[in-house]
Amino acid sequence: MRPMLATPATALPTGEDWLHEVKWDGMRVLADVRDGRLTLTSRAGNDATASFPELAGLADLYDDMLLDGEVVALDGGRPSFGALAERMHVRDRRKAERLAATRPVTFMVFDLLRLYGSDLTGQPLSARRELLERLDLDGRHWQVPPVYDDGQELFDATLEQGLEGVVSKRRSSPYLPGRRSADWLKSPHRATHSVVVGGWRPEQTNDSGRLGAILVGTPDGAGGWSFLGRVGSGIAGRAATLLAEEIGTGTIPSSPFSTPVPRVDAVGTTWVEPRVVVEVRALEVTKDGRLRQPAYLGVRPDLTPADLQEVDGA
């Protein structure tokens, strides 16, 4: 099963038909408990169970349930995608256990899709939410965050607290696996973008040859990739090393972008097959299709380029 997805909002919805919750800056995960075993599945359908051993205790709570939520890493009390990025890559059990002790995650549960063999996806959100709250999922590494009636008040509060934004959901909405629905609306404070890497440039401050910036793209509507800009902020130290490992050596002779890349960006760039998805934050996408003041947040191993193309065509 793939998770249900939210549509970008043009305005915060109001009225009794809607409830509102915090938009978490993390990794979307479905947690499936069956017969004492837990399986964590990413939005792209990949098995992420080994990455987060601190969530194994969910299997001891109920014999059969399927939860939807967001895995977050807290930094100073606030979710940080950058802090989560290294955890998302780990598949080695021992390394994951060491990181779980020093950089633990929290599973923010916001939906209940199955319980004791009963499929709840056809039930309205209000009914699923009521049952979810009765499960008393309050543990060291998982919780059910509250929902709110006043979306604007929550939007203002999350802005003040440095959180990512708000997701508004229609109380009567069923759960539509793998579909993007206008019954769920997301209102971020500062846009984040999942983009593909089409090239990289070395650090400009020395002759080390280490990765210092990447060229990224977004779906062009025809199955290819439009050049979106160069991203250098946030790429340093461990983050740069992990990114270089993900990109690997899959170089190609020319730009993979369907739109022109300015000479100032193209000269000195090593072009790569667009297969790695990363998350960036930017003030906006300008009228000429460029990211304004972008900053690198981390690799998205839970997403593939095909996922981005699907979203663009949804």
Query: Quick check: 242 and 88 in contact, CB under 8 A?
Result: no
Q: Which CATH class is domain 192-312?
A: mainly beta
Predicted structure pTM score = 0.76
Over residues 177-197, the mean pLDDT reads 91
Query: Quick check: 160 and 179 in contact, CB under 8 A?
Result: no
Structure letter (DSSP) for residue 246: H
pLDDT above 50: residue 12:
yes
Task: Please report the pLDDT score of residue 206 as a whole number.
Answer: 63
Per domain, the residue ranges of the chain are 5-188, 192-312
**So which residues are the catalytic ones?**
23
Q: Apex CA 9: angle with CA 4 and CA 11, to 5°? A: 145
How far, in Å, CA of 4 to CA of 181, rounded?
Answer: 8
Query: Quick check: 188 and 12 in contact, CB under 8 A?
Result: no
| pLDDT tens digit sequence for 40-65 | 999 888 899 999 999 999 999 999 99
Alpha helices in the chain (DSSP H): 81-89, 93-102, 125-134, 151-160, 237-247, 263-266, 305-312
| Cα diameter, the chain | 60
Task: Please report the pLDDT score of residue 239 as a whole number.
Answer: 87
> Is 5-188 assigned to CATH 3.30.470.30?
yes
SS3 203: coil
| pLDDT tens digit sequence for 237-266 | 888 888 999 998 789 999 999 999 999 999
How far, in Å, CA of 37 to CA of 58, rounded?
Answer: 9
